[in-house]
Structure 1
Amino acid sequence: MIVGLIVNGITRYVSAPLGTSLDIVLVISIFSALFNVSYDNVKKLNNSLIWVLLLWTGFTVLEILNPEAVSFEAWFYAVRAISFYIIFLIILTFLVLKSEKLIDVFINLWMIGALVCALYGMKQMYIGLDHVEKAWLETAADTHILFGKIRYFSFCSDAGQFGAFMSFSSLVAIILSLKSNSTFKSGFYFVVAVLCFWGMAISGTRGAMFVFVGGLFYLLLTRNFRVFTLGFIAMAAVFCFLRFTFIGQSNYQIQRMRSAVNPQSDPSFKVRLENQKKLKVYLASRPIGGGIGTIGYWGSRFSPGTFLAETPPDSHYVRIWAETGIVGLMIHIFTLLFILGRGFYLVYNLRDPLLKQKMMALYAGVFGILVASYGNQVLAQFPTVVFWSISIGVIFLAPSFDTEETSKNIIPVKP
Structure 2
Amino acid sequence: MLAFTFPGQGSQLPGMGEPWTSHESWELVIEASDACGRDVAALLLDADADELRHTRNSQLSTFVLSMVVLDAVERTGATFSIAAGHSLGEYSALTATGALAYDDAVRLVAERGEAMQIAADEHDGTMAAVLGLDDNLVAEACENTDGDVWVANYNAPGQVVIAGAPDAVAAGGAAAKAAGAKRLMQLQVGGAFHTPFMQPARDRLRKALAEVEIRAPSVPVVANVDARPRSDDNEWRSLLAQQLTSPVLWRASLHALTDVGVTTFVELGPGKVLTGMTKRTNKAATALSVGAPSEIDAFMEALADSAPAVPAVLGGENLYVTERLIVSPCAGIFALDSDMGDGQPIKVGDVIGHVAGEEVRSPFAGTVMGIMAVEGERVTARQPIAWLRTGDAT
Q: TM-score, normalising length from structure 1?
A: 0.29
Q: Which has the higher helix share?
A: 1
Q: Which has the higher strand share?
A: 2
Greater relative contact order: 1 or 2 (C-alpha under 8 angstroms, separation 6 or more)?
1
